[in-house]
Amino acid sequence: MRAVIQRVASASVAVDGQVISHISKGLMVLVGISRGADDTATDVATLTNKILSLRVFPDSQDPSKAWKANVKDIDGEVLCVSQFTLIADTKKGNKPDFHNAMTLSGNYTKPRRYKVRRVRAFERAAVADTTTPDGRFGAMMDVALTNEGPVTFTLDSRKFEYVQDGGGQNRLGTAEGPSEKSIRANVSATAT
What residues are labeled active site? Answer: 83-85
- Which residues are 80's β-sheet partners? 29, 134
Whether 23 contacts 6, CB under 8 Å: no
Distances (CA, A) of 59 to 8, 53, 56, 73: 16, 14, 10, 9
Phi, psi of 165 (to 5 degrees): -85, 180
What is the residue type of 5? I
- Which residues are 11's β-sheet partners? 23, 145
Q: At what angle do helices 41-53 and 110-123 cross, to 10 degrees?
A: 10
Q: How many CB atoms lie within 10 A of CB 187?
A: 10
Cα(82)–Cα(29) distance, rounded to whole angstroms? 8
Question: How would you label 108-126 residue by residue, b for 16+ Cβ within 10 Å and e otherwise?
Answer: eeeebeebbebbeebbeeb
